[in-house]
Structure 1
């Protein structure tokens, strides 16, 4: 009887742990800021859709250009000031000190003392997917406009590349660290790989 009670206790604990794992998994996949997630994609996707369908929507180039630039500007402001801070806990901005010098600041919110993550995995995926994919699309549009000699659209696509590329660069700097240079990271990585291969070759030669 005592052995049976002990087994029952063990089963209760395992069931409790399973419930805790399920709840933790659901919290990670839950979107905690649905409005921010929506507008993170809405403005940039809308700008791309308007660019692709502008000739069907309106015959006025000025109206299409103003609409696209307005959407790109709203996207730049929303991503830089709102969605990055809420969805992934990152932010960047420019400030001027007392001497009149301009400084770029890149910050990443630290995790809490309980080890709680700043953002959920679902929000992080949405944020970085939209942040990386859309600038690549605008670069493709830029090459397409250049090679097809659509000179009037070059200003529009250049604006898309600059505004969305600026946010991408800023948040990569926040993610990597403001004191870490991407070039030095790549160099150190290649150096470690070369050193590792050299050690492996030496071990094989000795054996």
Structure 2
């Protein structure tokens, strides 16, 4: 499969530069790094769980959108997206540039892209185990959101690279979109209404437009 005509393979410039798109590379790392940092150290700066929760979810949402719609197509020449067909069915597409356009990609940026894409879900799995075994169920909800969003992007781009679609990637992507939307809306509502816990969190003692994805 190939990108549509509006994706110019020569937009990146010369292939001889190690980082042809430093700004794009920065934002590929920035939002997920801030989300992870806030999750790990946010309690040292704020005692408000709901504030930390909403801030991390917003960072994860920005990361999900940026990686899905911008950094993937610029840094590695891949894109996954969905659209509604004439029958009202949601169709998931996984695309890759043709071989000739790979000349315009930077090997350094490709390595950074895939390293960050793989590292994020691995870290969220580690946090998931810690939260589960410590019975921190409120934090567990936040970790699940981070894992779903990062894993859905990873699965989507793996399908792009392999050049075919599957139900696993599309299902994960759909779940991530729906879950992220519900959590963001619910927790922002809770923030303004003075709620002390995120929407959907259990009560527990603490100890066809590719750009429209949200």
TM-score higher than 0.5:
yes
For residues 5-63 of structure 1, give each alpha carbon's deviation from its aligned partner in whole angstroms, at most 9, with x where no partner exists.
Answer: xxxxxxxxxxxxxxxxxxxxx94561111111000000001100001101101000011
For residues 73-114 of structure 1, give each alpha carbon's deviation from its aligned partner in whole angstroms, at most 9, with x where no partner exists.
Answer: 0000000000001000000011111011211100001133xx
Structure 2 unmatched runs, 5+: 1-13, 169-214
Structure 1 unmatched runs, 5+: 1-25, 183-207
Counterpart check, 1:75 vs 2:75: no
Counterpart check, 1:97 vs 2:96: no
> In the aligned structure 2, how far is the partner of 1:180 from the partner of 1:118?
28
Secondary structure at 2:92's aligned position in 1? strand
Question: What residue number does 1:159 align with?
Answer: 145
For residues 110-138 of structure 1, give each alpha carbon's deviation from its aligned partner in whole angstroms, at most 9, with x where no partner exists.
Answer: 133xx752411000000000000011100
Question: What residue number does 2:190 align with?
Answer: none
Secondary structure at 1:30's aligned position in 2? coil
Are the structure 2 counterparts of residues 97 and 53 from structure 1 closer, same or farther at C-alpha, using a change threshold of 3 Å? same
Question: What residue number does 2:116 align with?
Answer: 130
Are the structure 2 counterparts of residues 45 and 116 from structure 1 closer, same or farther at C-alpha, using a change threshold of 3 Å? closer
| Structure with greater Cα Rg | 1
More helix by share: 1
- Aligned residue pairs, count: 155
Secondary structure at 1:117's aligned position in 2? helix
> In the aligned structure 2, how far is the partner of 1:166 from the partner of 1:118?
26
Question: What residue number does 2:130 align with?
Answer: 144
> In the aligned structure 2, how far is the partner of 1:116 from the partner of 1:126?
16
Task: Tell me by how many angstroms 1:180 deviates.
Answer: 7.7
The ranges of structure 1 where at least 4 consecutive aligned residues each deviate by more than 3 angstroms after the TM superposition are 26-29, 179-182
The structure, 1 or 2, with the larger RCO (C-alpha pairs under 8 Å, 6+ apart) is: 2
> In the aligned structure 1, how far is the partner of 2:107 from the partner of 2:158?
17
Contact 2:84–2:91 under 8 Å retained in 1: yes
Contact 1:111–1:118 under 8 Å retained in 2: no
